[in-house]
């Protein structure tokens, strides 16, 4: 018999997070489970110290729940076994690592190490799946508004189609990857990804590998086309086939990526929305290691550029 501390997010799964977490009583029948509302935990260091030796921790929720846990424990060395039980609505992390809900809780410690960081409006966050910018950020903004008014599931595909046709206006963008500057007009999407999936099954960067030892991240740029052409290509993003349209889709891969739009728009970080953002900066794990170690007494941009040439 094992002891489990189940950290659940009551807001996950369209407000059914607590109820779905209780399913673990059946899945792990015979084990000892204690349930904790993670939105009420203010000090994770003290929380982990209070757990009996050998207690396993289960995070029950969706992608946003994992993001919250990652950032709430950002300065902690996690010595406990951390498991994940998917009870959210999108579950893109689950999809990316080849798991299904019916598989039950699985160990995720190795996925939580050396995550990339994104800096937005002076604040820095770790992220697990990706950073959405453009119409995907707009979809999260609209989805949050709908969710605040109703408990009905949010149809992000419908929001995206309406946005493409009527509401969302593309931007011009400057994207800098490892010091190389790229400019684009009429940009509809500019997400930077650690995994392959976001938005409930969209695959903007089908070749991205979250466990790649090089620790690169990838940015998709969907650009240059009008509403109807973009709408015609957009559904293919759910199979990763949009990248075949090379005249309007490009994937940029690197360790240090800055995306700047010519007007503010919403951004989402693992499904968590931030409004009115003019740009963001992503640093991969290897970039962060170089900056904090060998570049301590040097110009970091020059040091990083030199390290890539080695």
**What's the 3-state SS for the chain?**
CCEEEEEECCCHHHHCHHHHHCCHHHHCCCCEEEEEEHHHCCCHHHHHHHCCCCCEEEEEECHHHHHHHHHHCCCCCCCCCEEEEECCCCCHHHHHCCCCHHHCCEECHHHCCCCCEEEECCEEEECCCEEEEEHHHHHHHHHHHHHHHCCCCCCHHHHHHHHHHHHCCCEEEEEEECCEEEEEEEEEECCEECCCCECCCECCCCCCCCCCCCCCEEEEEEECCCHHHHHHHHHHHHCCHHHHCCCCEEEEEECEEEEEEEEEEEEEECCEEEEEEEEEEEECHHHHHHHHCCCCCCCHHHHHHHHHHC
Same domain as 141, residue 61: no
Same domain as 160, residue 299: yes
Domain end among 57, 76, 111: 111
Same domain as 178, residue 274: yes
Same domain as 298, residue 176: yes
Same domain as 198, residue 252: yes
CATH number at residue 12: 3.40.50.10330
Q: pLDDT tens string for the chain (310 positions)?
A: 899 999 999 999 888 999 999 999 999 999 999 999 999 999 999 999 999 999 999 999 999 999 999 999 998 988 899 999 999 888 999 999 999 988 999 999 999 999 999 999 999 999 999 999 999 899 989 988 888 888 777 787 788 888 988 999 999 999 999 999 999 999 999 999 999 999 889 999 999 999 999 999 999 999 999 999 999 999 999 999 999 999 999 999 999 999 999 999 999 999 889 999 999 999 997 766 666 555 655 655 555 555 554 3
Same domain as 210, residue 258: yes
Same domain as 189, residue 132: yes
Going across the sheet that includes 32-37, the strands are 32-37, 3-8, 56-61, 82-86, 106-107
Domain end among 44, 79, 111: 111
State the total domains in the chain: 2
Query: Do residues 294 and 302 lie in contact, with contact meaning Cβ atoms separated by under 8 Å?
Result: no
Structural domain harbouring 80: 3-111
What's the distance, Cα to Cα, between the start and end of the chain in Å? 51
Same domain as 273, residue 133: yes
* The pLDDT value given to residue 271: 85
Domain end among 55, 87, 111: 111
CATH number at residue 131: 2.60.200.40
Same domain as 280, residue 145: yes
* The pLDDT value given to residue 154: 78
């Amino acid at each position: 018999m094992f002891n489990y501390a189940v950290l659940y997010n009551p807001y996950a799964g369209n407000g059914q997070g607590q109820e779905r977490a209780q399913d673990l009583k059946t899945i792990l029948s015979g084990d000892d489970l204690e349930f904790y509302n993670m939105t009420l935990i203010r000090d994770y260091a003290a929380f982990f110290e209070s757990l009996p030796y050998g207690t396993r921790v289960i995070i029950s929720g969706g992608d946003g729940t994992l993001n919250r846990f990652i950032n709430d424990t950002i300065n902690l060395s996690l010595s406990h076994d951390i498991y994940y039980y998917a009870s959210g609505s999108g579950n893109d992390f689950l999809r990316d690592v080849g798991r299904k809900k019916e598989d039950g809780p699985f160990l995720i410690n190795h996925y939580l190490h050396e995550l990339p960081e994104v800096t937005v409006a002076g604040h820095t966050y770790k992220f697990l799946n990706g950073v959405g910018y453009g119409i995907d950020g707009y979809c999260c903004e609209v989805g949050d508004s709908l969710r605040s008014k109703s408990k009905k599931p949010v149809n992000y595909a419908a929001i995206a189609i309406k946005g493409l046709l009527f509401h969302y206006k593309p931007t011009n963008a400057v994207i800098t990857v490892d010091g190389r500057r790229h400019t684009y007009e009429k940009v509809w999407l500019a997400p930077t990804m650690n995994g392959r999936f976001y938005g409930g099954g969209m695959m903007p960067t089908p070749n991205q590998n979250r466990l790649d030892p090089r620790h690169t991240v990838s940015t998709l740029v969907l650009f240059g086309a009008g509403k109807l052409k973009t709408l015609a290509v957009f559904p293919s993003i759910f199979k990763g086939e949009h990248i075949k349209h090379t005249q309007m889709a490009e994937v940029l891969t690197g360790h240090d990526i800055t995306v700047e739009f010519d007007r503010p728009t919403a951004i989402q970080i693992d499904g968590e929305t931030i409004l009115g953002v003019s740009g963001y900066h992503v640093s991969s794990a290897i970039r962060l290691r170089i900056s904090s170690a060998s570049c301590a007494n040097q110009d970091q941009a020059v040091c990083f550029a030199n390290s890539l040439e080695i």
